[in-house]
Amino acid sequence: MLDLIPSLSGWAPALARQRFAVATIVAASGSVPRPVGTSMLVAESGEVLGGLSGGCVEGAVVALAQEAMDDGGTRLENFGFSAADAFAAGLTCGGGLDIHIQPVALAPSGGAAHPLRTALLQLADLGPDQPVALVRLLGLAGGGAVVLSDPATFRLAASPELMALLHGEQVLHGEALLQVESIVCSGGTGVVSIPRPGDCPPDRTGHGQPSGGPAILVESRLAPPRMLVFGANDFGAALVPAAKLLGYHVTLVDARPAFAGQPRFAAADQVVADWPHRYLAAEAAAGRTDHRTVAAVLTHDPKFDIPLLETALALDLAYVGAMGSRRSHLQRVDELLSAGVPPERIAQLHSPIGLDLGAVTPAEVAVSVTAEIIAARSRAASCLPLRETSGTIHPHPIQLDPAPAPAPTDVDKQEIAWT
């Protein structure tokens, strides 16, 4: 549902004045286009907001949503691949989706609005990056829903509205409550089954088959992770917009105000003129870095790099990368060891920075760096960082015929400059 927030404000009038249904993916298996928590709204007028599969099942879901609005009953439908019936609604990719359909009726005269209608109107007032969580009850009469405004610091005991909702439905199993709290605080999405007397302990079914019984759907979104780009140069100018595309809140830092103040860095959320290590230490002390924070060191100047890397490698950051040649990296390692940085911390440094894509231009290097950040975040095993390869960073093409040595190219000059 949270993926619809940027478009909900335009739907607020429809949400307030007519019946609608909410179709949500509550379980997924195999190869599927969209994850658990993805939702689609179907208005009584026939308007549709969002999608669930890229077109494979949307038509069937709209028809089911209309039926649900007519009879007031919820639906849980499974869509998969049908080899026997080529014209059946299903997923051509071969995966399977369980889609929960919740009708939302108009409030009776003088009565309270449906809790899901209230929740959606609250979400419609939010910005696209604002932290928020939505907790919904599935498979129970009423379809309760609660919006939480500060998921990072959420504690179930401090939310009387949610406690009342869950205890009102007798969701008393401690394990289920702990799972709800954990998903909210981590900024994740998941489905937690509600145990009944005699049931087994609850199971989070966000990535497998649903339990088929009542459940709690949790969707949570934390503030965007931060990327700190150190170095107001061509590579920093290319990396800033690339990082923005990945959803990072980007800060460009350089000790030289004349460089940091250039218009080409206007895409950054924040530009800071300060010594990099001093700025990072202050941000960490103020609690403005965390385990999702990325640091890209592009200054390629020992007087900036070494104290900055000392500071960065002492923190619990998601990624620390430094630009330079292999010779520069070896010199850095020696200086960091001399400064007392433990070898196991130095081993976490991504240097030379980026994946081995054959990148040369600043734009290509930005792709290489963001690709490595994604690979590190997802722990992809098939992508090789430059630090795990050998040989020159920019291999020269093989010449089949003898030829005079060419004049140095821009690539050669760049490699020489980095050494």
398 assigned to some structural domain: no
Domain end among 221, 256, 284: 221
244 CB-contact burial (10 Å; exposed 0-12 / middle 13-18 / buried 19+): middle
Please spell the DSSP secondary structure of 44-92, one letter per residue.
TTS-EE--SSSSSSHHHHHHHHHHHHHH---EEEEE---SS-TTSS--T
Please state the separation of Cα 106 from the chain's center in Å: 34
Q: Inform me whether the pLDDT recorded for 141 exceeds 70.
A: no
Q: Inform me whether the pLDDT recorded for 118 exceeds 70.
A: yes
Judgement on whether residues 209 and 245 belong to the same structural domain of the protein: no
Q: Inform me whether the pLDDT recorded for 408 exceeds 50.
A: no
pLDDT given at position 198: 55
Judgement on whether residues 39 and 144 belong to the same structural domain of the protein: yes
Q: Inform me whether the pLDDT recorded for 255 exceeds 50.
A: yes
> Could you give the angle at the alpha carbon of 239 between the alpha carbons of 233 and 244, nearest 5°?
135
Residue 67 near residue 45, CB atoms below 8 Å: no
Residue 154 near residue 148, CB atoms below 8 Å: yes
Q: Inform me whether the pLDDT recorded for 404 exceeds 50.
A: no
340 assigned to some structural domain: yes
217 assigned to some structural domain: yes
Confidence of residue 415 (pLDDT cuts 50, 70, 90): very low
Judgement on whether residues 22 and 132 belong to the same structural domain of the protein: yes
Domain end among 162, 187, 221: 221
Judgement on whether residues 217 and 241 belong to the same structural domain of the protein: no
Angle at which helix 326-338 crosses helix 302-313, to 10 degrees, equals 60
Q: Inform me whether the pLDDT recorded for 119 exceeds 90.
A: yes
| Rounded mean pLDDT, 235-239 | 97
Judgement on whether residues 151 and 269 belong to the same structural domain of the protein: no
| Rounded mean pLDDT, 253-269 | 96
Judgement on whether residues 314 and 214 belong to the same structural domain of the protein: no
395 assigned to some structural domain: no
pLDDT given at position 401: 39
Beta pairing partners, 240: none
| Rounded mean pLDDT, 59-65 | 92
411 assigned to some structural domain: no
Say which CATH number the domain at 301 has. Answer: 3.40.50.720
Rounded Cα–Cα distance for residues 168 and 143 (Å) = 12
Q: Which residues neighbour 336 within 8 Å (Cβ) at sequence distance 6 or greater?
A: 306, 309, 310, 313, 346
Segment 303-327, tens digit of pLDDT: 999 999 999 999 999 999 999 999 9
Which is higher by pLDDT, 163 or 174? 163
Judgement on whether residues 364 and 264 belong to the same structural domain of the protein: yes
Judgement on whether residues 181 and 200 belong to the same structural domain of the protein: yes
pLDDT given at position 83: 41
Q: Indicate the DSSP class of residue 224.
A: P
pLDDT given at position 384: 67
Q: Could you tell me the residue range of the domain that residue 281 belongs to?
A: 226-388
Phi, psi of 40 (to 5 degrees): -135, 135
40 assigned to some structural domain: yes
Phi, psi of 179 (to 5 degrees): -65, -40
96 assigned to some structural domain: yes
pLDDT given at position 320: 98
Judgement on whether residues 103 and 84 belong to the same structural domain of the protein: yes
Q: SS3 breakdown of the chain: % helix, strand, coil, rounded to 5?
A: 35, 20, 45
Segment 363-381, tens digit of pLDDT: 999 999 999 999 998 776 5
Confidence of residue 87 (pLDDT cuts 50, 70, 90): very low
Quote the number of domains for the chain.
2
Judgement on whether residues 187 and 265 belong to the same structural domain of the protein: no
Judgement on whether residues 252 and 181 belong to the same structural domain of the protein: no
pLDDT given at position 276: 97
Q: Inform me whether the pLDDT recorded for 21 exceeds 90.
A: yes
pLDDT given at position 245: 94
Judgement on whether residues 212 and 267 belong to the same structural domain of the protein: no
The neighbour count for residue 151, using CB atoms within 10 Å, is 22
- Host H or E run for residue 13: helix 5-17
Angle at which helix 276-285 crosses helix 302-313, to 10 degrees, equals 20
Cis before 352 (ω within 30): yes
Domain end among 192, 221, 250: 221
Confidence of residue 200 (pLDDT cuts 50, 70, 90): low
pLDDT given at position 381: 57
Beta pairing partners, 271: 252
Q: Which residues neighbour 135 within 8 Å (Cβ) at sequence distance 6 or greater?
A: 145, 146, 148, 162, 165, 180, 184, 216, 217, 218, 219
368 assigned to some structural domain: yes
Is the sign of the CA dihedral 156, 174, 138, 221 positive or negative? positive
Angstrom distances, CA of residue 218 to CA of 110, 177, 378: 30, 11, 22
Angstrom distances, CA of residue 363 to CA of 6, 195, 198, 240: 29, 52, 59, 10
* Percent of the chain predicted with pLDDT > 90: 56
Angstrom distances, CA of residue 404 to CA of 294, 371, 407, 408: 45, 37, 9, 12
